[in-house]
Structure 1
Amino acid sequence: MQSTWRGSHRWISRLDRYLVRHVSDLPGGNHDAFFRRLSASANHGKLWIAAAAAMAAFPGRPRRAALHGLIAQAVASAVTNVVFKTLLPRARPLPEHLPVFRFVHPQPTSSSMPSGHSASAVAFAVGAGLVQPVIGAALAPVAAGVAYSRVHTGAHWPSDVFFGSALGACAALLTRTWWPVRPPFPDVARTWTTAPELPGGLGLSIVVNTLGGSFTEETATALQGVFPDAHINSVHPDQDLLREIRHAAEHPGTRALGVWGGDGTVGAAAAAAVEHSLPLLVLPGGTLNHFARDAGTGSLKEAVAAASKGEAALADVGIVTVERGLAGSPEMAQLTMLNTSSVGLYPNFVRRREQLQPALGKPLAGVVAMFRTFAAGTPSTLTIDGRRHKVWIAYVGRGRYYPRDHAPLFRPVMDDGVLDVRMITADESFARLRLLWSVLTGTVATSRITHLSEATRVRIDAGGSPMALAVDGEALAGVRSVEYTVRRRALAYYSPQPR
């Protein structure tokens, strides 16, 4: 076998020298400077980073092509320079092999086998082309030019370029499932219903939580300006929020309940609205208000328009039954869930993602937040619907959320009758490495550690160690068990109809 390898190696060397002699015999001219500059422009991937930046200026497939190209290039460069250049040491062409005016100076000192420039060029072009073939076709001549320039300038033997190009193509194919394009979200769908028209806010009682993150002294004044006939109650920190919400729902002449605040405040108002058979007007406000976004009242203008015209729809509500306290004397409580609930590290992940999102955008903020959260976090041991798991995250959404991965963001249907159940488990071997790798490659949704399902009832038991539970952003400690169910179309909420 060793003699066969040596014979093959000699055959490759003879072919390399034969091809280099033909390149050396080419007459000099402007093309020498062109290939020298083209080769230099690809140093450290500068050419491909610039190309990716230009492609990223166009949203959609060009931007996705740029991302996949850079991922493939990074993998190809790492494998070529860290692995194969160490395993396959080889001397580069000597000055006597090419005319001095053509020979690159200074010549690289690393191993000639394989060509890193060629690997990066082909990886970027093929990687981008797998997403957007037109872009790949446009990049192909540039990548071929960079690969050839390494032979033309004496930086590599032809076989180095061929091997590097093959590595680049393999890297592009290997990474084609990393950070896949998310399927389009379904269209928004509503089950419309009738609700009182509230011109000027007549018949509307609004509760304003002054502890909401975006509250200012002008908030109540602004609400009174757009709803001059509404009853508005600003609840201060020394007041009982739940009691004030009940009082607002029972205020004489109230035909609809309005709420300004975060997710927890909106959930409490929804419970009161269902109890008193009132439609709910969710106003944009508070630290987070996911229901207002999903309901289509993410701006005050939209909320006023829906209330004035009596445009409303129906939503399911989640019923969360919580057991706390000692096993012999448990304390039971029932909560209303409009959005999401979670156990484990998910609240920490969401908090970090929201903090990073303004600077990094949603996708990158999600990746960084996942790394920070799970690099040092520990899984919890829980029994979920009778099965024992080690769990990083147990997440339950009231309704089917999108995208279908670790970072649900959008809920197009408010009355689909299901609980969106997502778990990221640590049951598998090398659980932390699996998790971090899937985050790095954007394959959390397809990883073996991720479990996606839908149900109408879910039960989670903490066992001997009580767990921390979050329901619509409100945290509860010392929880021994929790059970989720769905009440179909129990809540009427104001939502502007599409024009």
Structure 2
Amino acid sequence: MQSTWRGSHRWISRMDRYLVRHVSNLPGGNHDDFFRRLSASANNGKLWIAIAAGMAAFPGKTRRAAVHGLLAQAVASAVTNGIFKTLLPRTRPLPEHLPVFRFVHPQPTSSSMPSGHSASAVAFAVGVGLVRPAIGAAVAPAAAGVAYSRVHTGAHWPSDVLFGSALGAGAALVTRHWWPVRPPIPKTQRTAASAPELPGGKGLSIVVNALGGSFTDETADALREVFPDAHIVTVRPEDGLVEQISATADTPGTKALGVWGGDGTVGAAAAAAIERSLPLLVLPGGTLNHFARDAGIGNLQQAVAAASNGEAALADVGFVTAERGLAGAPEVSELIMLNTSSIGLYPNLVRRREQLQPALGKPLAGVVAMFRTFAAGTPITLNVDGIPHRVWIAYVGRGRYYPRDHAPLLRPVLDDGVLDFRIFSADESFARLRLLWAVLTGTVASSRITHLREATDVTIHADGAPMALAVDGEALAGVRKVHYRVVPRALVYYSPQA
């Protein structure tokens, strides 16, 4: 076995010297300076970081490809420099092997085997290409040029470059399992429903919440302009919102209820609409209005078109029963849930994600927000359907949200009949490190700390201190028990996507 290894080693050395002689015999020229500069640009991964920074300006798969390329490059560099250069000491080419004008100066002092530059270059190119093949193909010539430059400048033997390139490709493939390809998000689907046509807003009563984050004095005027025949009521801070919504819904001649405001306002209006069997027109406005987004109403023009044409669809509704106070005489509150509810650190996660989203885009902002939130947070103890857990977050979505591996962002179907229930558990040993690693590598969905399931009802008890509960952005403190259930297709809402 030992003689076989020595024979293979001598064969590799002969091949290296043969190839280096041919490189040495190439005529000098501007290409010498080019390869010297290209090689230097890749020192410490600077070239790949610069390319990734440019890619990060484009959200979606391009930004995701940049992240994966850098992750693969970091792993390849660590493995090459931290492990193999120690295990495989080798002398680099000597000055007599190449013309002096081509030889790199100063010569690196670490082991020649394997080439760290080549490992990083190939890892980045392959890592990018696994997510965005076209960009990976565009980066490949630069990676190949860096790899060749290490032989051209006398920094490495050809076999060093070949082995380093193999390590880089392997690092890209391994990290692809850490950062798996997300399954495609289903297409938007709507179940059409019958609703009255409201040309000019005739038969439409609209509630406008002045406490909505984007409210101005011109908001009601803008609504009157597009719905000249509608009955529009502006609710001021001193007015009772729920009472005003009920009174507006009871206005004679009302065929449909409209609402302008955030998620909490929309939920209150939905409760009034369901009680009176009225279709609901959700208008884009307020601090956060996720239901309008999911209903396909991104602007007033879309809302006007849906209402005028009577285009409507069906949505499931979540009902949340919360108990507060003493166990013997609890104070019971029942809330409508159109979007999401959470217990634990989720409100902090959402706040951070919304702050980062303009600069990073939704997917990457969700990753960074999760990392920051869990790094600083502490778990709570809950009893979920009779099973105790220490959790970072208990999250309930009305309907399946996507992506499944990070913070939920999109909901393409509003009447799938389920609750999207997720727990990020702290039961396992080294739970915080496990969670941070899962967030960093994109393996949250497959991690042991993550429990994903679908249900039609869920019951959660506070095992110790009372819970802080959030339902569609509205907070409820001192909760000792909460029960979620879903009522299929309980709400008719206007949607141009119907």
Query: What TM-score, normalized by structure 1, do the two folds share?
Result: 0.91
| Closer, same or farther: CA 300–111 of 1 in aligned 2, 3 Å | same
Q: What residue number does 2:21 align with?
A: 22
- Deviation larger for 192-201 or 339-348: 192-201
The aligned amino acid for 2:28 is G
Q: What residue number does 2:194 align with?
A: 194
- Deviation larger for 267-276 or 70-79: 70-79
Counting only pairs closer than 5 Å after superposition, residues 194-273 of structure 1 correspond to structure 2 as: 194-273=194-273
Contact 1:291 1:339 in 2 (8 A): yes
Q: What residue number does 2:174 align with?
A: 174
Contact 1:19 1:158 in 2 (8 A): no
The aligned amino acid for 1:454 is E
| Closer, same or farther: CA 5–389 of 1 in aligned 2, 3 Å | farther
Deviation at 1:430, TM superposition (A): 1.2
Contact 1:119 1:167 in 2 (8 A): yes
| Closer, same or farther: CA 227–163 of 1 in aligned 2, 3 Å | same
Q: What residue number does 2:451 align with?
A: 451
1-side partners of 2:403 and 2:344: how far apart? 20
SS of residue in 2 equivalent to 1:229: coil
2-side partners of 1:140 and 1:197: how far apart? 57
2-side partners of 1:159 and 1:23: how far apart? 15
2-side partners of 1:66 and 1:463: how far apart? 43
Deviation at 1:443, TM superposition (A): 1.5
Contact 2:69 2:126 in 1 (8 A): yes
Contact 1:20 1:151 in 2 (8 A): no
Deviation at 1:434, TM superposition (A): 1.0
SS of residue in 1 equivalent to 2:148: helix
Q: What residue number does 2:345 align with?
A: 345
SS of residue in 2 equivalent to 1:488: strand
Q: What residue number does 2:368 align with?
A: 368
Q: What residue number does 1:98 align with?
A: 98
- Deviation larger for 32-41 or 196-205: 32-41
Deviation at 1:34, TM superposition (A): 4.3
* Cα deviation code 1:371-410 (max 9, x no counterpart): 1110010111111111111111111111111222231112
Deviation at 1:97, TM superposition (A): 3.5
Deviation at 1:226, TM superposition (A): 1.5
- Deviation larger for 297-306 or 159-168: 159-168
Q: What residue number does 1:317 align with?
A: 317
Deviation at 1:236, TM superposition (A): 1.2
Q: What residue number does 1:436 align with?
A: 436
| Closer, same or farther: CA 90–497 of 1 in aligned 2, 3 Å | closer
The aligned amino acid for 1:26 is N
1-side partners of 2:57 and 2:478: how far apart? 49
Contact 2:438 2:447 in 1 (8 A): yes
| Closer, same or farther: CA 270–19 of 1 in aligned 2, 3 Å | same
| Closer, same or farther: CA 134–281 of 1 in aligned 2, 3 Å | closer
Counting only pairs closer than 5 Å after superposition, residues 52-67 of structure 1 correspond to structure 2 as: 52=52, 65-67=65-67
| Closer, same or farther: CA 360–423 of 1 in aligned 2, 3 Å | same
Counting only pairs closer than 5 Å after superposition, residues 291-302 of structure 1 correspond to structure 2 as: 291-302=291-302
Unmatched tracts of structure 2, length 5 or more: none
- Deviation larger for 132-141 or 203-212: 132-141
Contact 1:23 1:152 in 2 (8 A): no
Contact 2:102 2:153 in 1 (8 A): yes
- Does 2:408 correspond to 1:408? yes
- Does 2:384 correspond to 1:384? yes
Contact 2:469 2:477 in 1 (8 A): yes
| Closer, same or farther: CA 59–334 of 1 in aligned 2, 3 Å | closer
SS of residue in 2 equivalent to 1:175: helix
Contact 1:318 1:486 in 2 (8 A): yes
Contact 2:320 2:484 in 1 (8 A): yes
* Cα deviation code 1:156-213 (max 9, x no counterpart): 2344323322321221121112333322221222221221222222222111111110
Deviation at 1:65, TM superposition (A): 4.6
2-side partners of 1:327 and 1:188: how far apart? 43
SS of residue in 2 equivalent to 1:445: coil
Q: What residue number does 1:354 align with?
A: 354
| Closer, same or farther: CA 53–358 of 1 in aligned 2, 3 Å | closer
The aligned amino acid for 2:255 is R
Deviation at 1:72, TM superposition (A): 1.4
2-side partners of 1:313 and 1:81: how far apart? 59
The aligned amino acid for 2:25 is L
Deviation at 1:61, TM superposition (A): 6.3
2-side partners of 1:327 and 1:446: how far apart? 37
Contact 1:20 1:97 in 2 (8 A): no
Length, aligned pairs only: 497
What is the CA RMSD across the aligned residues, in angstroms?
2.8
| Closer, same or farther: CA 182–101 of 1 in aligned 2, 3 Å | same
The aligned amino acid for 2:473 is G
